[in-house]
Structure 1
Amino acid sequence: AAALLFLLLAVGGAGVVAVMVAPAIPLLVDAALWLLWPVEVRSSTRFVDEASRRLASVAPTVVAITGSFGKTTTKAHVGRLLRNRRRVVVSPASFNNRLGLARSINEQLTPGTEVFVAEMGTYGRGEIRALCEWIRPTVSVITAIGPVHLERFGTLEAVASAKAEIVDGSQTLVLNIDHPQLAELADAEEGRREVIRCSSSSARADVYVGPDSMVYLRGQAIGATSDGEAFPGNVACAVGVLAAIGLTADPADLASLERPAHRRQVATAQSGAVVIDDTYNANPVGARAALSMLGRYASPGARRVVVTPGLVELGRRQFAENVALAEHAAREATDIVIVGRTNRRALLEGSRGAMSVRVVDSREEAVAWVRRTLGPGDAVVYENDLPDHYP
């Protein structure tokens, strides 16, 4: 392998290596994780055992949240809606694996904590089931099923099956039934446990968030979010969690819900340009929603810019999804800035109808161009930011 890499560098340089190696990066990362998994388990056992004992001693209601996307935002919404009602601990940032959750429990869970909200992520089947063996959920939440991590799971059905591992042992299941796989799961689990259906498309759901941001709980309006950009499915699931533990969300708390960092956050730069930071979003649905914000924040006739390296971990759908992303960007933006080489070909294909397309090697180069170019009235969305191991 090392000899092959040396030969590629000698013949074609770093660009050739990047093009040939980029598609294999997820597989290489998976192989490394698989090799290191026994080491991680051995090194983390002491911390996990300590966390298990602490959980048993404090005995909070455990809310476990997973989904292809929307986990972190929904978790933050639950914490905000509960903070004036219960003593709540929310796992921080994206601490959603075995060691991260053990650390969250050991460092933050104290006697008197009434609710522990745990985000659970997975890169493969069995991971969430293993987490639930020692973090036993009272309420299980699945926010969405989408084409994320498909290079590992292969199909949406496999994604749904892995996420559904969070169901076992829980008393109440909160599901976003706007996703067909979760609507089917809701029907299958009816009668086995309480099921709370959440939706932004069906007013008959237990929790419904309408197009005017009004939130309904079992048909009764309980308040509205003031953030028109909030994803209604995430809000609905958070309200569903409160219903699962016998509470109704307070209207003032609903109105105060905010987006987590780097997820469609809006700010005004020193230049006067509006900056939409969506760098922590990596799913096609959220990406399209962020791009659609440009027209609402840019002044008429001003520049509307999309800066993106594209989306990854989409398996066989990655090329097509990035073509679609660029096509959407071409409709919404005056300028598209393509970062890096990972998805360059797909993004260039999809952006053929754009007014202006620029290709740069790094996010830093893109940011420098934005700062030189944009001014008052202009708007830019930074869509996704790939880890360093992607070219």
Structure 2
Amino acid sequence: MTLTLLHFVLFYVATKRLLTYLHILQQDDYAPLRFLNWLWVKKSIDRYMTITLSIGTFTIWLFGSGVFISNIISTLCLLIVLFISYRERVPTKSGKKLLVMTSRATRIYCVCLLLSLPSILQTQTLLEAILMIHCIPFILIIGCYLLQPIESMIYRYFIIKAQRTLQSHNPVVIGITGSYGKTSLKKILGHILSKYEPTLMTPGSVNTPMGICKVIKDDLKPSHKYFIVEMGAYYKQSIAKLCDLTRPVMGIVSSIGPCHLERFGSIDNIAIGKSELIQSVATHPHAKGFTFPKALNQYPIFHKMSQSKLMIEPLTAQHKEQTINGLSMSIEHQGEAIDLSAPIFGLHQIDNILLATTIALQLGVPMQLIKSALKSLPQIPSRLEVQEDHRHVTWINDAYNANPEGFKQGITLLNEFGVQKSGRKILVTPGIVELGQAHDPIHESLAKEAMRYVDVIIAVSHQRIKAFVRTCHQLKQGNQQIITTLTFKDAKKWLDENVQPKDTILISNDLPDLLESRPAI
């Protein structure tokens, strides 16, 4: 009876714990080695069940190994473990970004459950049960590697199918990449082109091969004239693979910066990786051109590509201005001064507007239509998105911000609204991720910028941005407050209890579950 209960409890624990770890694996693009690194960094090992089973093992040893006593103690411990497992968070129902049981996630989950069965059935004691529970994350890693050949075949199938659909529908494919700003640029260009011809763009932050394949399969229609594809990259050749899939005839690189510096290794590598889009367009027999900000000419590869006949010189703006109503600027087009305005925020968005306008003009969109489209441009979700609640508290949602320039623009906007409303300026931030060796210097710089204007700083997951918190304390003056919290949930609780009418709150970046906290196990 006790052995049957032991096997049942371990199987139940495996079903719950595999979901917990799969949630983390999915958020890190199913990369087993990065998952292993997460386990090490977060020290995400089982505690509560291990303690329970260890006490049970010690008690049995202490009071003798009689069958009756052993069974009573083992049963009690196993019921406690079952209760602990039952109480664990289910990541498909709870979390910032829920676990999505895609076909791939389901395959991994089922294979790992099958892999765990022999070990579960061979477990005979509470001590062995502890070992089994600690093996669960490694079973997940093994399952991923075993499935790689199958995943490669499935990947290739969907790539070929997507390519055939693109060849059949033959839209004008416009690729967009960059260290930051690519989603905003895509939204702006997509909004303009949709006023001119039927246009499809990849939704949200979808920018991976399988995500793009799904968009092509589900959403691309023969009527679409333009298909705007956001292209993300963590390593060299990532963009090249996306270009092989979509074969863009136009390309835009929004920016080069330290985002994902940890994975690329250097800024020069990032520049080379992003330039793969431009190089792909340059080799397309029906290429219509590419563009990028002049600031990128500092990188040799972009300086070389700027000499190409396919280079479309980006528009430049004069009289750039940001108010609480949005952005305005003046450009010169065909010898005439044109005033443009858009109800979005962040001076860095002006560069995105200029790049989008440059491409739209190249495609024959009339300037008057571009002007009109920009005036009706909706705010870009979670990218300096401004809203006022019923308490007259202004919220600046920049939760998707993940770069130093965007952080500084958010601080500038926070100051403008704070001054206008004569209320407190509150910054909530966990800092920026994947900066590699530049992590501390950049966060020191961001802290200096914040302390010039902000009244209250709430540093979320403060243990990972020690340089930011330390610099804030060093520069603190007068009534400025620096508050540290472990999670965004804690920060929200503070805001709920302390926010006042006329306050302006900037949410600058928001960490995914795998970076903010470790599972409560």
The answer to whether the superposition gives a TM-score over 0.5 is yes
Q: Partner residue of 2:484?
A: 359
Alignment of 1:226-305 (within 5 A): 226-227=342-343, 229-230=345-346, 231-249=349-367, 250=369, 251-298=371-418, 299=420, 301-305=422-426
SS at match of 2:467: helix
**Cα distance change, pair 208–40 in 1 and its aligned pair in 2 (3 A):** farther
Residues 159-187 of structure 1 show CA distances to partners (whole Å, capped at 9, x for unaligned) of 000000001342211111133446x5554
Corresponding residue of 1:334: 455
Q: Which string of whole-angstrom CA distances, capped at 9 and with x for unpartnered residues, describes residues 12-33 of structure 1?
A: xxxxxxxxxxxxxxxxxxx99x
Against the structure 1 CA distance between its residues 91 and 216, is the aligned structure 2 distance closer, same or farther, given a 3 Å change threshold?
A: farther
- Length-normalised TM-score, structure 1: 0.85
Q: Deviations over 1:210-236 (max 9, x none)?
A: 414223346543441233624111111
- SS of the residue 1:178 aligns to: helix
Segment drifting more, 128-137 vs 239-248: 239-248
- RMSD, matched Cα: 2.8
Deviates more, 1:238-247 or 1:312-321: 238-247
**Residues 90-140 of structure 1: CA deviation (Å, up to 9, x unaligned):** 110111010011111111111121100000000100111111112111101
Call closer, same or farther: CA 1:228–1:270 in 2, change over 3 Å.
closer
Q: CA deviation at 1:254?
A: 2.0
Q: CA deviation at 1:350?
A: 1.9
- Alpha-carbon separation, structure 1, partners of 2:376 and 2:469: 40
Distance 1:293 1:158 in 2: 32
Task: Specify the structure having the higher radius of gyration (Cα).
Answer: 2
Tell me, in whole angstroms, the C-alpha distance in 2 between the residues paired with 1:233 and 1:363: 31
C-alpha change, 1:81 and 1:50, in structure 2 (3 Å) is same
Distance 2:318 2:374 in 1: 11
Match of 1:173 among 290, 306, 312: 290
- Residue of structure 1 equivalent to 2:54: none
Check conservation: 1:322, 1:343, Cα contact below 8 A: no
**Secondary structure, aligned partner of 2:342:** coil
Per-residue CA deviation, residues 188-247 of structure 1 (Å, 9 max, x unaligned), is 22554421232xxxxxxx444641422334654344123362411111111122123233
Partner of 1:215: 331
- Return closer, same or farther for 1:342/1:193 CA change in 2, 3 Å cut-off: farther
After superposition, the Cα gap between the structure-2 partners of 1:319 and 1:191, relative to the gap in structure 1 and judged at 3 Å, is closer
Distance in 2, matches of 1:357 and 1:74, equals: 34
- Equivalent in the alignment of 1:386: 511
What amino acid maps onto 2:337 in structure 1? A
Work out the CA distance in 2 between the residues paired with 1:160 and 1:374: 42
Looking at structure 2, the residues matched to 214 and 208 of structure 1 have their Cα atoms a distance apart, in angstroms, of 5
Instruction: Indicate how the Cα distance of structure 1 residues 248 and 156 shifts in structure 2: closer, same or farther if over 3 A, else same.
Output: farther
Residue aligning to 2:502: 377
Structure 1 residue 341: deviation in Å? 3.8
Match in the other structure for 2:161: 50
Q: Does structure 2 conserve the Cα–Cα contact (< 8 Å) formed by 1:307 and 1:337?
A: yes
User: Distance between the aligned counterparts of 1:38 and 1:318, measured in 2?
Assistant: 36
Residue of structure 2 in register with 1:324 after alignment: 445
> Does 2:174 correspond to 1:63?
yes
Cα distance, 1:226–1:131 mapped onto 2, change above 3 Å: closer
Corresponding residue to 2:427 among 290, 293, 306: 306
Please give the alpha-carbon distance, in whole angstroms, between the structure 1 residues aligned to 2:428 and 2:307.
48
Q: TM-score, normalized by length of structure 2? A: 0.65
Matched-pair contact (CA < 8 Å) for 1:67–1:144: yes
- Counting helix residues as a fraction of each chain, which structure ranks higher? 2
* Number of the residue aligned with 2:271: 160
Question: 2:217 — aligned with what?
Answer: 106
Map 1:110-125; keep pairs closer than 5 Å. 110-125=221-236
Q: Output the amino acid matched with 2:496.
A: R
Q: Give the 3-state SS of the residue equivalent to 2:437 in structure 1.
A: helix
Separation (CA, whole Å) in 1 of partners of 2:385 and 2:187: 14
Tell me, in whole angstroms, the C-alpha distance in 1 between the residues paired with 2:408 and 2:450.
8
Matched, 1:90 2:231: no
- For the 8 Å contact 2:460–2:487, the answer to whether it is kept is yes
Match of 2:469 in 1: 348
Once the two structures are superposed, residues 346-366 of structure 1 have per-residue CA deviations (whole angstroms, 9 ceiling, x without a partner) of: 121221223110111110111
Bigger shift: 152-161 or 237-246? 237-246
Matched residue SS, 1:179: helix
Change (3 A) 1:379 1:87: same
Provide structure 2 residue ranges, at least 5 long, that are not aligned to the other structure: 1-35, 49-140, 282-286, 322-328
d(CA) in 2 for partners of 1:37 and 1:271? 52
2:189–2:357 Cα contact (<8 Å) kept: yes
Report the Cα distance in structure 1 between the residues aligned to 2:404 and 2:318, rounded to whole angstroms. 21
Measured in 2, the distance between the counterparts of 1:59 and 1:303 equals 53
In the aligned structure 2, how far is the partner of 1:57 from the partner of 1:93? 25
Whether the aligned pair in 2 keeps the contact of 1:207 and 1:239 (CA below 8 Å) is no
Verify the 8 A CA contact 2:411 2:450 in the aligned structure 1.
yes
Structure showing the higher strand proportion among its residues: 1
- State the alpha-carbon separation in 2 of the partners of residues 42 and 342 from structure 1: 42
Q: What is the one-letter code of the residue matched to 1:175? A: F
- Mean alpha-carbon deviation: is it higher for 238-247 or for 316-325? 238-247
Q: What is the percent sequence identity of the aligned residues? A: 27
1:262-313 deviation per Cα after TM superposition (whole angstroms, max 9, x unaligned) = 0001111233211110000000000110011122212565211100111111
Task: Tell me whether 1:196 sits opposite 2:312 in the alignment.
Answer: yes
Which secondary structure state, in structure 2, belongs to the residue aligned with residue 351 of structure 1? Answer: helix
For structure 1, list consecutive stretches of 5 or more residues without a partner in the other structure.
Answer: 11-30, 199-205
Q: Distance in 1 between matches of 2:494 and 2:223?
A: 51
The verdict on how the C-alpha distance between 1:208 and 1:295 changes in structure 2, with shifts beyond 3 A counting, is closer
Equivalent pairs, count: 364
Q: How far apart, in 1, do the equivalents of 2:333 and 2:312 lie?
A: 10
